Amino acid sequence: MITRTAPRWQTSDWQSLLKSSIRSVDDLCDALNITVEDLPVARKAGDDFAVKVPLPYLQRIRPETPNDPLLLQVLPQALEMQAAPGFSTDPLEEAQFNPVPGLIHKYHGRVLLISSPHCAIHCRYCFRRHFDYDANTPGRRHWQPALDYIAADSDIHEVILSGGDPLSATDSYLHELVNAIAAIPHVKTLRLHTRLPVVIPQRITQGLLDAITGTRLKTLMVLHINHANEIDDDVSQAVKVLQSAGIRLLNQSVLLHGVNDSFEALSDLLWKLYALDVGAYYLHVLDMIDGAAHFLCDDSQSMALYNKLAAKLPGYMLPRLVRETASHTSKTPLI
Ligand SMILES: *Cc1c(COP(=O)(O)O)cnc(C)c1O
Ligand code: SF4
């Protein structure tokens, strides 16, 4: 018998936490008692790609610390408005792998569904910050072409719910979508790529667990954590709840200058993930998206850092250092 009461640590419901998110540079600065350089330009960057920081994440940012690794991930900076060579609005050219609305089929056997246009947080380095969600989120009643596409290709064994963030959709929406996917016999695995359990751990409700584990599909969840400070007690608790429901958890990070591009930062993160039984999956180098150039670590630095980790940590704690390129139909390892 599965209990339907919310776990004790869930003091607020996730939708109100989402609604009360910080949504401007000024509010973010006020909340943390910081100032930013060239505020008018930073505000413009915030108009370009809106600020969004929910309170449970805000609470993990140290006040009065302009270089806090969590703050840097969410704070618009004047630097974003400078054009940088090699950076563009669609570095992955995903449009060519978009056969029906909401579906990206680039890798063998796996398709991505853009199952929600929204995220719980806006990460300044995001490669989808310029993505045309309006054209690519079919909404509840319009998934049929994507489902027909999956049904027609028996090589597709895995459906990845991505976004945006798939967990920003409601439980009932996910329940419906997951059941429709499970009705396609050759699909074996449901994977969710999400940052929500980290950003708002209160999102992990019994209704969500029922929606994503209630079918014959094997459920895998890939979290997105870049720094050890993102993992507090509530996040650890959410991880345990997901694991107790039989969901295998992995993590991917993006290597970000100023945030986690040091041996200490990455090693702390990997030890924390190990303690939580969350597998380290990928360490991505930055996608060359307009507005994110200030996060770039060059390849030789990235590889040197990775080699340092490999020299100190057991192999099972190491993620793969990879790059996503427009032409490759798999991630490309740097080492
Ligand atoms: C990363 C990615 C996947 C999943 O790749 P895995 O190596 O299986 O994690 C699938 N489709 C696209 C378009 C991707 O970028
Ligand atoms: S949660 Fe993921 S998709 Fe959303 S803004 Fe952050 S990196 Fe981008």
Statement: residue 1 has pLDDT above 70: no
CB 217 within 8 A of CB 248: no
E strands present in the chain: 103-104, 110-116, 158-163, 189-194, 218-224, 248-254, 279-284, 320-323, 332-333
pLDDT at 75 over 80: yes
Q: Is residue 87 assigned to a domain? A: no
- Residue 87 C-alpha to ligand 2 middle, in angstroms? 18
Total H helices, total E strands in the chain: 12, 9
Residue 282 lies in a domain: yes
Looking at the fold, whether 120 and 233 belong to one and the same domain comes out as: yes
Look at residues 56, 81, 106 and tell me which one is the last residue of a structural domain. Answer: 81
Name which residue sits closest to atom 4 of ligand 2, judged by CA: 119
Which residue puts its alpha carbon closest to atom 6 of ligand 2? 123
> Does the beta carbon of 104 sit less than 6 angstroms from any atom of ligand 2?
no
285 Cβ inside 6 Å of ligand 2: no
Q: Which ligand is nearest to the CA of 167?
A: 2
Contact between residue 280 and residue 296 where contact means Cβ atoms under 8 Å apart: no
Measured by CA distance, the residue closest to atom 15 of ligand 1 is: 324
Cα–Cα dist 89/87, whole Å:
7
If one compares 295 and 326, the residue with the highest pLDDT of the two is 295
From CA 207, how far away is CA 228, in angstroms rounded?
Answer: 28
Cα separation, 100 vs 327, whole angstroms: 20
| Same domain, yes or no: 68 and 181 | no
Do both 162 and 225 map to the same domain? yes
Q: Is 286 in the pocket of ligand 2 (CB under 6 A)?
A: no
Task: Report residue 170 as tokens.
Answer: 């409601």
Amino acid at 52: K
pLDDT in tens, 194-228: 999 999 999 999 999 999 999 999 999 999 999 99
Q: What is the C-alpha to C-alpha distance for residues 186 and 112, in angstroms, rounded to an integer?
A: 16
**Within this chain, do residues 171 and 29 fall inside the same structural domain, yes or no?**
no
In a domain, 2, yes or no: no
* pLDDT tens digits along 274-293: 999 999 999 999 999 999 99
CA of 292 relative to ligand 1 center, distance in Å: 21
- The last residue of a domain, from among 81, 112, 131: 81
Residue 126 CA to ligand 2 centre (angstroms): 5
Look-up: residue for tokens 């427009």?
326
Which ligand is nearest to the Cα of residue 156, counting in written order?
Answer: 1
The pLDDT value given to residue 2 = 44
CB under 8 Å to 259, separation ≥6 — which residues?
69, 72, 73, 226, 227, 265, 295
Instruction: Say if residue 157 is in the same domain as residue 276.
Output: yes
Query: Please, which residues have CB within 8 angstroms of residue 209's CB and are 6 or more apart in sequence?
Result: 241, 242, 245
Candidate of 90, 160, 253, 323 to mutate for ligand 1, largest count of ligand atoms within 8 Å of Cβ: 160
Residue 110 to residue 104: CA distance in whole angstroms: 9
Same domain? For 160 and 295 the reply is yes
Residue 119 CB–ligand 2 contact under 6 Å = yes
Residue 9 included in any domain = no
Stretch (H or E) spanning 43: helix 39-48
The reply to whether ligand 1 has any atom less than 6 angstroms from the CB of 103 is: no
199 and 235 assigned to the same domain: yes
DSSP-assigned letters across all residues of 44-109: HHHHHS---B-HHHHTTSPTT-TT-TTHHHH---GGGGS--TT-BS-TT-GGGG-SBTTEE--STT
Specify the ligand 1 atom closest to the Cα of 110. Answer: 10
Widest distance between CA atoms in the chain: 58
- Ligand 1: which residue has its CA nearest to atom 8? 110
Query: Does residue 316 share a domain with residue 167?
Result: yes
Give CA separation, 275 vs 110, 204, 240, in Å: 30, 20, 11
Residue with the bigger pLDDT between 137 and 85: it is 85
163 and 263 belong to one structural domain: yes
Give residue 313's domain range. Answer: 94-333
Contacts of 205 by beta carbon, 8 Å cutoff, 6+ apart: 6, 10, 14, 171
Domain's final residue, options 81, 103, 131: 81
How many structural domains compose the chain? 2
Is residue 130's pLDDT more than 70? Answer: yes
- Does residue 60 form part of some domain? yes
Q: Which SS3 state, helix, strand or coil, does residue 248 take?
A: strand
| Centre of ligand 2 from the C-alpha of residue 185, in Å | 31
CA of 97, closest atom in ligand 1 = 13
Specify whether 49 is located in the same domain as 181: no
Q: What integer pLDDT is reported at residue 299 of this predicted model?
A: 97
The answer to whether residues 23 and 140 belong to one domain is: no
Ligand 1: distance of its center to the CA of 79 in Å? 30
Both tokens of 56, joined, read: 């449970």
- pLDDT score at 11: 55
Asked if residue 1 is part of any domain, the answer here is no
Q: 47 and 158 share a domain?
A: no
Is residue 3 exposed (0-12), middle (13-18) or buried (19+ Cβ within 10 Å)?
A: exposed
Nearest ligand 1 atom to the CA of 112 is 11
Residue 313 CA to residue 301 CA, distance in Å, equals: 18
Q: What is the CATH number of the domain that holds 311?
A: 3.20.20.70
pLDDT at residue 10, as a whole number: 53
Binding site for [4Fe-4S] cluster: residue ranges? 119, 123, 126
| Binding site membership of 110 for ligand 1 (Cβ less than 6 Å) | yes
230 contact partners, CB below 8 Å, separation of at least 6: 57, 60, 70, 198
132 CB contacts (<8 Å, ≥6 apart)? Answer: none
What DSSP line would sit under 261-283, residue for residue? Answer: -SHHHHHHHHHHHHHTT-EEEEE
Check pocket membership of 104 for ligand 1, CB cut-off 6 A.
yes
Domain assignment present for residue 3? The answer is no
Cα(103) to centroid(ligand 1), Å = 12
What pTM was estimated for this model as a whole? Answer: 0.95
The answer to the question of residue 5 being in a domain is no
